Structure 1
Amino acid sequence: MPALVLPLAELSPHLPQRGALIGLDLGDKTIGVAVSDPDRRLATGVETVMRKRFTEDAARVLKLAAERNVVGFVLGLPLNMNGTEGPRAQSTRAFARNLAKLTALPIGLWDERLSTAAVERELIAADASRAKRKAVIDQHAAIFILQGALDRLARAAAIASDSPEATDVG
């Protein structure tokens, strides 16, 4: 059965309570990869995959997911500033649909507007050289995307646990 591809807000019910998530920043030439801890509190960088063909890219991503026993994926969805989807967002959705055919793990899409720009500013502030920034920017963007998604999932869980229908009675 193919995986579900959902907006991040709809991903939680399809995930076990614990388990790492893998985050992807899909670029034209590279894929930044980050992974969370099993409690989904902290995202850390894994690697930058040099893109080849979808089958090779997906095989590498799925291997990383298996090595880390992840329970789901978070893909950065590069929306335009006005919230519309351009060619890069369409490409991300196509990658997600194709990846879903190869795994049963759920795939969440997370708005990644300005993630690369934010990471670039942080690296410049840290005085990273242009060559160093180029080498790590996609991986750092994946961390930024995944951490934002983790924070959003945690806020949603906290709100749900405070709701009257989520309170244990008896």
Structure 2
Amino acid sequence: MRPGVRLAVDVGSVRVGLAACDPAGVIASPVRTLVRDPGHDADVAEIAAEARARGAVEIVLGLPLSLDGSEGPAALRALDYADKIVRSVPEVPVRLVDERLSTVGAHRALHAAGLKEKQFRAVVDQAAAVVLLQATLDAERTGHAPGRVVAGPKGRRKARHRGQGGTGTEQQADAGGRARPHATEGKG
């Protein structure tokens, strides 16, 4: 597993939850909740500042796939958000990771901690980011970095897919983020 801090982002229509891990990449912890600012992208600027301040080696962004694994409207909004982050902090890779059940897991954890539904709103996005990041860290420790890395503006995304031997093939993705084979091979 690569060492270094990762910042996780759980983006919703109203709030954005942030979580980060320790430099060893062992434990994910909540950071804060931002208010979405679609008109001016102040939330994106805050994510970029947080990533730089922590010296993040990667930003993990939840990709809300449909239960059948397809990319619906929510996933397309997340892909657009990923593009904004890439433009704001191009030196830090952004990894899109399936977050289908992260909010459900966050709700369960908060309920188990004794919080009432009304208290969830302030922290559920952070908790979902923690669930997302911890699952990503755990998967990476087994030798499989989940999801795909966004490497450029919409329409020029590149995804890394790992094979069993630890190498990956680089793929070009279309504007919807769906991977298309690319001619070059790379290390995973």
User: Displacement, 1:131?
Assistant: 2.2
Cα separation, 2, equivalents of 1:100 and 1:60: 13
Letter in 2 for 1:29: V
List structure 1 runs of 4+ shifted beyond 3 angstroms: none
Where does residue 58 of structure 1 map in the other structure? Answer: 44
Of 53, 58, 68, which aligns to 2:54? 68
Of 1, 6, 11, which aligns to 1:26? 11
Q: Please, which runs of 5 or more residues in structure 1 have no aligned partner?
A: 1-11, 166-170
Cα separation, 1, equivalents of 2:121 and 2:78: 21
Asked if 1:48 is matched to 2:48, the reply is no
Cα separation, 1, equivalents of 2:12 and 2:69: 19
User: Displacement, 1:18?
Assistant: 2.0
Where does residue 173 of structure 2 map in the other structure? Answer: none
Q: CA RMSD in A?
A: 2.2
Aligned pairs, number:
147
Higher normalized strand content (fraction of residues): 2
TM-score (norm 2): 0.72
User: Displacement, 1:143?
Assistant: 0.3
Letter in 2 for 1:37: D
Asked if 1:127 is matched to 2:120, the reply is no
Cα separation, 1, equivalents of 2:3 and 2:78: 26
Cα separation, 1, equivalents of 2:95 and 2:23: 17
Alignment of 1:8-157 (within 5 A): 17-53=2-38, 55-103=41-89, 104-156=91-143
User: Displacement, 1:149?
Assistant: 0.6
Cα separation, 2, equivalents of 1:42 and 1:85: 29
Cα separation, 1, equivalents of 2:75 and 2:112: 29
Cα separation, 2, equivalents of 1:52 and 1:101: 16
Letter in 1 for 2:4: G
Letter in 1 for 2:122: A
User: Displacement, 1:60?
Assistant: 0.6
Letter in 2 for 1:38: P
Higher normalized helix content (fraction of residues): 1
Deviation string for 1:14-57 (max 9, x for gaps)? xxx32100000000000000001111111000000011135211
Q: Secondary structure at the match of 2:142?
A: helix
Letter in 1 for 2:6: L
Cα separation, 2, equivalents of 1:99 and 1:123: 28
TM-score (norm 1): 0.80
Which of 1 and 2 has higher RCO (CA within 8 Å, sep 6+)?
A: 1
